Amino acid sequence: MQRLRLDLDPLRETLLLTLYARALDAKLPHPILGDTHSADIADAIDYDFAKLKVKPSLVCGTALRAKKLDEAVRTFVTDHPNAVVLDLGCGLDTRVFRCDPPAGVDWYDVDFPDIVELRPQFLPDRSLPIGADLTEPGWVDPLPRDRPVMIVAEGLLPFLPGDTFQRMTQELTAHFNTGELAINGYTRFAAWSMKYHPTIKAIGITAAQGFDDAHEPEKWSAGLTLADEQLLTRAPEVVDFPQPLRAVTRLMSHSTALSRQGTRILRYRF
């Protein structure tokens, strides 16, 4: 099979990091997410994934946060079978296939135009593409306003500069009448320390954005109310983590403060 070489700048190259982590999870004896589509896509790309230095902690953390965000999306579209779903910064994620929404749901995969154009080369047509720079206003204007929306943003927060994520959230919640926002939240320390992680350092991205208090987005003038904070150190799936990661994670789970420095899933209503 001919493998495809991608020409990506460092920011866009981060999509390969999460793709590869999901692919490695899928090949484990006891996968957490089990995303075989991601494994197939990674196998079809001509890229030296070894340079990303992906460790078990990243594999397990990426798979677990994706699973929990998928669960939030599935619950929402079950309760709102006419919903709109926005997957922001989707990259080559296969969430629409994992969640398999009902026919009445309009699912939009949103990313840079050149990334959205890549998706049909690897994935069947199942969603509506939106090619947009999320830091620029106005891209949401053509979308329906009168239907409930699930907005999911995985791994996006640290890579948007300044208060861009806040302003984007304000625009989204002003456009839609009602809905939910689900993200994996980073504390300020976790976001700052990402730039020293071997995988991020290998790509050359400087990450910066995060917040400590899960209630902070309620102050963004976006009408958000915190509905749920999941500390993934306490998730039952930790039993499938390899040692010594499993033991370290269970130790962290006894401290709420330490658990928040790891992966947490935050869900807001508006």
pLDDT at residue 199, rounded to an integer: 61
Distance between CA 196 and CA 199 in Å, rounded? Answer: 8
Structure tokens at 40: 């197939």
Tell me whether residue 2 is in a domain.
Answer: no
Measured CA distances, 151 to 17, 76, 164, 261 (Å): 22, 10, 16, 23
> Is 5 domain-assigned?
no
Assess if residue 3 is contained within a domain. Answer: no
CA angle 70, 71, 75 (to 5 degrees): 120
- The structure tokens listed for 67 are 């699973």
Q: Does some domain include residue 162?
A: yes
pLDDT at 158 over 60: yes
- Boundaries of domain holding 56: 10-269
Residue 191: what residue type? A
Give me the percent of the chain exceeding a pLDDT of 90. Answer: 79
Structure tokens at 64: 């677990």
pLDDT at residue 162, rounded to an integer: 81
Mean pLDDT within 247-260: 95
Share of the chain above pLDDT 70, in %: 95
**1 domain residue, yes or no:** no
Query: Is 110 domain-assigned?
Result: yes
Cis amide leading into 244 (omega within 30): yes
Two structure tokens written together for 136? 């620029």
Q: What is the pLDDT of residues 139-152, one digit of tens each?
A: 999 999 999 999 99
> What CATH number should be reported for the domain holding residue 162?
3.40.50.150
Residue type, 87: D
**Which whole number is the average pLDDT over 175-184?**
97
Average pLDDT over residues 197-216: 74
Secondary structure letter of residue 265 according to DSSP: E
Is residue 63 in a domain? yes
pTM of the model: 0.93
**CA–CA distance, 185 with 79 (Å, rounded to integer):** 24
| Tally of structural domains, the chain | 1
| Cβ-count burial 176-211 (b if 16+ within 10 Å, e if not) | beebbbbbbbbbeebbbebeebebbebbebebbbbb
Inside any domain, residue 116: yes
Contact of 66 with 33, CB cutoff 8 Å: yes
Reply yes or no on whether the pLDDT at 1 is more than 60.
no
Distance, in Å, from the CA atom of 89 to the CA atom of 111, rounded to the nearest integer, reads 5
